[in-house]
């Protein structure tokens, strides 16, 4: 169904391409890239983003769950897709859509091997994930022996990559911890290489790993937030281009008198006559409640209009007393990375959550 919503997210595919090449150029020639397009490509739009990156020559896509991979396949994406949090109950779907599971435990490995055997699969590509310190998904180092015994002579599956994930790649205060993770992973890889005689791809770095840890680039890097314009500090972010701009329009303007309360629960009372604009974006769209009561703002004709009172589910109220504007005028929620970072700080979160919280009902357009 076509989306007629007036609040829209403009996505710059040329900025996306710039960011992809900027990050790829930080790796040595021949290093492969996996573009992470999970969670609707971080709240933006996965299909056009994946199509654009596929044309730029990305080697792999990464999604979190099967459905996300299926959506890409149904829209014609041919590049291999790694399902980072593959579920045992979805193995049949993965096979059907030519998606490659992350196998991260002895349990998932045994389940997948049994499934592959039952379905007479041959050399089905799988990826092994190792825990090097994040303590999230992954085999522990002491499980490597048993793992090797299970896979060594198995013809139903084929290990195409081995990977790990860094806990604090963006934080140079944790350099010692990260270097330890890298060396733990290196020793796992050494054992794997000695036992598995065929070639497999090794990968560990997310965006910040690409920026901070060249010794963790290995054969492939996994690019997420950087593609969408955010580095690990303001300096790196400045070298990336802004991909997403969120815009809306003024639905109504009203004047309130001194003593009138504004929005739900009388959280704000006007101290003088004020002009209030109502904008069709709310907390259900990702404009989070901590941005209410004057903490957050939108931009109208280049001027900041701060929120007035509580954020509602479908709309916000902003103070436009000193802004020359009328109903129907354009409203910019954000059109640069700094504003997103600022909103993230106000909401005690990170840019990732501000982007992924952008609701699906917001219209996506491409420039």
Is residue 162 within 8 A of residue 128, CB to CB? The reply is yes
Our answer to whether residue 258 is catalytic in this structure is: no
Helix (H) or strand (E) holding 46: helix 46-56
Which residue in 36, 103, 262, 332 binds ligand PLP (CB under 6 A)? Answer: 36
Q: What angle do CA 44, 47, 48 make, to 5 degrees?
A: 80
Distance CA 162, CA 35 (A): 17
Q: How many residues sit close enough to ligand PLP to count as binding (CB under 6 A)?
A: 12
Residue closer to ligand PLP, measured from CB, 156 or 206: 206
Instruction: Please give the backbone phi and psi of residue 100, each rounded to the nearest 5 degrees, phi first.
Output: -110, 125
Distance CA 311, CA 357 (A): 15
Catalytic residue among 38, 129, 247, 364: 38
Which residues in 58-87 contact ligand PLP (CB under 6 A)? Answer: 84
Is residue 329 within 8 A of residue 300, CB to CB? The reply is yes
Residue closer to ligand PLP, measured from CB, 33 or 319: 33
CB of 292 to ligand PLP, least distance (A): 28
Say if residue 193 carries a ligand binding annotation. Answer: no
Q: Determine, following the binding rule CB under 6 A, whether residue 217 of this chain makes contact with ligand PLP.
A: no
- Tokens 């270097």 locate to 179
Catalytic residue among 22, 65, 264, 306: 264
CB of 130 to ligand PLP, least distance (A): 11
Cα(first)–Cα(last) distance of the chain, in Å?
21
Which residue in 24, 32, 127, 165 binds ligand PLP (CB under 6 A)? Answer: 165
Our answer to whether residue 264 is catalytic in this structure is: yes
Say if residue 1 carries a ligand binding annotation. Answer: no
The closest alpha carbon to 102, from 178, 160, 150, belongs to 160
Tokens of 126: 């799988």
Q: Determine, following the binding rule CB under 6 A, whether residue 222 of this chain makes contact with ligand PLP.
A: yes
Per DSSP, the residues of 309-333 read S---SS-EEEE-TTS---TT-EEEE
Residue closer to ligand PLP, measured from CB, 44 or 250: 44
Is residue 180 within 8 A of residue 140, CB to CB? The reply is no
- Using CB under 6 A as the criterion, what x/- string covers residues 243-272 for binding ligand PLP? ------------------------------
Distance CA 242, CA 340 (A): 10
The closest alpha carbon to 251, from 319, 315, 332, belongs to 315
Task: Say which DSSP state 242 is in.
Answer: P
CB of 23 to ligand PLP, least distance (A): 9
- Among 152-160, 221-229, 312-320, 328-336, which window interacts with ligand PLP (CB under 6 A)? 221-229
Which residue in 12, 52, 206, 248 binds ligand PLP (CB under 6 A)? Answer: 206
Residue closer to ligand PLP, measured from CB, 167 or 249: 167
Distance CA 141, CA 190 (A): 12
Residue closer to ligand PLP, measured from CB, 219 or 274: 219
Q: Determine, following the binding rule CB under 6 A, whether residue 292 of this chain makes contact with ligand PLP.
A: no
CB of 330 to ligand PLP, least distance (A): 30
Q: How far is CA 177 from CA 130, 137, 140, 172, 182, in A?
A: 16, 18, 17, 10, 9
Residue closer to ligand PLP, measured from CB, 177 or 264: 177
Q: Which residues are annotated as a binding site for substrate?
A: 136, 313
Binding interface with ligand PLP (CB under 6 A): 36, 38, 84, 165, 206-208, 222-226
What amino acid positions are annotated as catalytic residues?
A: 38, 264
């Amino acid at each position: 169904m076509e989306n007629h919503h007036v609040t829209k997210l403009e996505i710059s595919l040329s900025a996306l391409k710039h960011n992809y090449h900027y990050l790829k150029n930080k790796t040595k020639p021949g290093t492969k890239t996996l573009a992470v397009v999970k969670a609707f490509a971080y709240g933006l739009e996965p299909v056009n983003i994946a199509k654009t990156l596929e044309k730029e020559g990305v080697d792999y896509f990464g999604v979190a769950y099967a459905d996300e991979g299926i959506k890409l396949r149904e829209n014609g994406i041919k590049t291999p897709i790694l399902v980072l949090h593959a579920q045992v109950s979805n193995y049949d779907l993965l096979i059907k859509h030519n998606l490659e599971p992350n196998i991260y435990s002895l349990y998932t490995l045994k389940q997948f091997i049994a499934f592959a055997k039952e379905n007479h699969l041959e050399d089905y590509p799988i990826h092994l994930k190792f825990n090097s310190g994040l303590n999230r998904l992954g085999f522990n180092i002491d499980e490597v022996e048993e793992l090797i015994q299970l896979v060594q002579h198995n013809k139903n599956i084929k290990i195409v990559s081995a990977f790990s994930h860094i806990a604090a790649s963006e934080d140079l205060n944790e350099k010692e911890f990260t270097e330890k993770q890298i060396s733990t992973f290196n020793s796992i890889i050494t054992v794997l290489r000695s036992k598995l005689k065929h070639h497999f791809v090794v990968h560990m770095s997310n965006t910040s790993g690409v920026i901070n840890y060249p010794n963790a680039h290995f054969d492939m890097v996994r690019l997420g937030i950087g593609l969408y314009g955010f580095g690990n500090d303001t300096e790196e972010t400045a070298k990336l281009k802004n991909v997403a701009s969120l815009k809306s329009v003024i639905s109504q303007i009203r004047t309130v008198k001194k003593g009138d309360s504004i929005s739900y629960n009388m959280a704000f009372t006007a101290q003088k006559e004020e002009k209030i604009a109502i904008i069709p974006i709310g907390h259900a769209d990702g404009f989070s409640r901590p941005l209410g009561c004057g903490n957050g703002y939108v931009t109208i004709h280049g001027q900041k209009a701060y929120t007035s009172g509580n954020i509602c589910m479908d709309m916000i109220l902003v103070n436009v007393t000193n802004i020359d504007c009328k109903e129907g005028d354009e409203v910019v929620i954000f059109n640069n990375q700094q504003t997103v970072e600022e909103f993230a700080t106000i909401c005690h979160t990170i840019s990732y959550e501000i982007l992924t919280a952008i609701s699906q009902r917001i219209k996506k357009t491409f420039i």
